[in-house]
Each structure stands twice: as structure tokens, then as C-alpha cells.
Amino acid sequence: MIYRALLEADFEKLPPALRAFHSAPGKRCAAGTMIVRHQSAFLAWLVGFPSAGERVPMRLDVAATDEEEVWTRWFGGVARSSTQRVENGLLMETVGPVRIGFQIQVCEKGMQFHSRHAWFWGIPVPLQIEASACGGDSSWEVEVKVAHVGSYRGMMAMQP
């Protein structure tokens, strides 16, 4: 479980919904509804950001091993997949030719993600992403902001 390895003792401070989701072995799923906003429709299209909307259905499928997790995010009927692993104390997320290194911190209600490094085909790029996952007993709110591109925010719950 990469989040447990990355957060170490702080993992136990996560709210129950996030702790359960990030410690479930193998395959897991969550679903919810997002509000998706674009700052730049062109940049959103260029980077494959989800279509803008007020109640965009989202499903998250995660296939986890001890070393990595493959995350497939379905916005409406469109899938976007990435691979996450731990490298040098950062959560490294790879989407096609883009690699992003996130520092994760446990906060009062969940986790905060701050991009520290980003590369496109191995070339450093100034990509800024901020995200949070704040949970309770059975669900969590996620918010992702990509500078100059857009954001999405909504509630998620683990699915059987």
C-alpha cells in the first residue's frame, strides 16, 4: 500500500473513509459527482482535463500492488488513467509523457497534495497542482486545482 508507506505513522491519523480506501488491497472503486470548472477551455482540452459541468459523474477504479497503483478516473464516460508510486519521499504520478511529484501532508480532516516537480518527456515544466481529500466515516470530498487549466470538486464514497 503506497499511501501507508508514504505517510508512515501519519496514515493512522486519516479519517476512516480515507484510511479504508487507501489500505484496501487489490482492486477498489469509489464514485461520486464533481463540479468541473475550466480557467482556459483550450488548455483544458490540450491536457485532457474533464469537460466542464455542474454534476459530472465520476468513478475511480484503483488497482493496487505493494509498489504501485493504477488509477482510472472516469468523468462521464471518458477514462483517464495514471500510475502512482513512491519515489524519494514523493508520490510520483505518471500520465502518458507527464510525471508529477507530489508532497503529501496529513491535515486535520485528510490529506493535502502539493506538486513539487513536473516533467514532460523528462523536461522540467512549471506545472502547479494543489489537491485535497477531506473525509469522514464513509465518504470524502476531493478538490483538485491545476493552475491556468481548471479545477474539480465533489464528494466520493467507496463502492462495493
Average pLDDT, the chain: 95
Q: What is the pLDDT of residue 4?
A: 94
Q: What is the pLDDT of residue 25?
A: 87
Domain boundaries, the chain: 2-50+57-159
Cα 68 to chain center, whole Å? 14
Q: What is the pLDDT of residue 160?
A: 87
Per-residue pLDDT tens for 3-57? Answer: 999 999 999 999 999 999 999 889 999 999 999 999 999 999 888 899 999 999 9
β-bridge partners, 155: 33, 141
Residue 1 has pLDDT above 90, yes or no: no
β-bridge partners, 32: 58, 156
The percentage of the chain sitting over the pLDDT mark of 70, rounded to a whole number, equals: 100
Specify whether the backbone of 57 is left (phi greater than 0), alpha (psi in -120 to 50) or beta. beta
Backbone φ and ψ of 52, nearest 5°: -65, 145
Indicate the CATH number for domain 2-50+57-159. 2.40.128
Q: What is the pLDDT of residue 143?
A: 98
Please, are residues 59 and 50 in contact by the beta-carbon 8 Å criterion?
Answer: no
Q: What is the pLDDT of residue 37?
A: 98
Q: What is the pLDDT of residue 48?
A: 86
